[in-house]
A = this chain, B = another copy of it.
Amino acid sequence: MTLSPEARAIEAVLVVAVEPVPPGLLAELLELPVEQIEPFCDELAESCRVGGRGFEVVRIAGGLRIQTHPDMASYVERFANVGVSSRLSAAALETLAIVAYKQPVSRAQIAALRGVNVDGVVRLLEHRGYIAAAGRATGPGQAVLYATTEAFLERLGLDRLDQLPPVEDLLPGPEALAELEEQMRPVADG
């Protein structure tokens, strides 16, 4: 059994989606009337069941999304707990630090500072309970704003946010700056 081109396209979109994708948006992308989208979604979901895939395609919160199959929960849990995620990566720690110092802050603002897409990392931090949605921006789009949680403070052994080291203190002093500048000078090959 091979997927129809429409079901393939829907699957590809779901693979890169971070949040459930509403059928209306899928219809727009595929340039089809929304009522014609439904059968292709069903085909896709069915193909995952029949093929015994490790994930399923489900309707959640008015949209479609890919999620791991419940039977695979033990592996996913182990993956989440060992190996790559047993410590925060430098990227995740930097993202957490931005939220800590700039809260409340939107994903887009974090991405602008980090220079990369941060959706996955924000999700990880939110999932682990270190950050949480704390309102919405007033501007167009009303982006979700994130803030650190009580759990974040607890884990760091702090009572209040203002106990975080002031960042000005960490800025390099004039001597360190001069040294840095010196290092940036070309060596003999420059």
Residues of A with Cβ closer than 8 Å to B? 1-3, 7-19, 21, 25, 28-30, 47, 50-55, 66-69, 71-72, 75-76, 78-80, 82-84, 106-108, 120-121, 124, 140-144, 187-190
- The answer to whether B18 touches A54, judged by C-beta atoms less than 8 angstroms apart, is no
Closest to A15 in B: B55
Of the A-B pairs whose beta carbons lie under 8 Å apart in the complex, a sample of 8, sorted by A's number, is A13-B79, A14-B54, A18-B121, A25-B79, A29-B82, A30-B75, A108-B189, A142-B187
In the bound complex, residues from chain B placing their C-beta under 8 Å from that of A142 are 187
In the bound complex, residues from chain B placing their C-beta under 8 Å from that of A108 are 189-190
- The answer to whether B68 touches A16, judged by C-beta atoms less than 8 angstroms apart, is yes
In the bound complex, residues from chain B placing their C-beta under 8 Å from that of A66 are 15
In the bound complex, residues from chain B placing their C-beta under 8 Å from that of A69 are 8, 12
- State A2–B1 Cα separation when bound (angstroms): 11
- State A55–B51 Cα separation when bound (angstroms): 14
- State A142–B188 Cα separation when bound (angstroms): 8
- State A162–B71 Cα separation when bound (angstroms): 38
Q: Known contacts being A18-B124, A69-B8, is A187 close to B54, with CB within 8 Å?
A: no
- The answer to whether A13 touches B75, judged by C-beta atoms less than 8 angstroms apart, is yes
- The answer to whether B84 touches A12, judged by C-beta atoms less than 8 angstroms apart, is no
Our pick among B13, B52, B84, B107 for the contact of A8 (Cβ within 8 Å) is: B52
Closest to A140 in B: B188
- The answer to whether B16 touches A79, judged by C-beta atoms less than 8 angstroms apart, is yes
Closest to A89 in B: B19
In the bound complex, residues from chain B placing their C-beta under 8 Å from that of A141 are 187-189
Q: Known contacts being A16-B80, A28-B82, A75-B13, is A51 close to B187, with CB within 8 Å?
A: no
- The answer to whether A72 touches B12, judged by C-beta atoms less than 8 angstroms apart, is yes
In the bound complex, residues from chain B placing their C-beta under 8 Å from that of A50 are 2
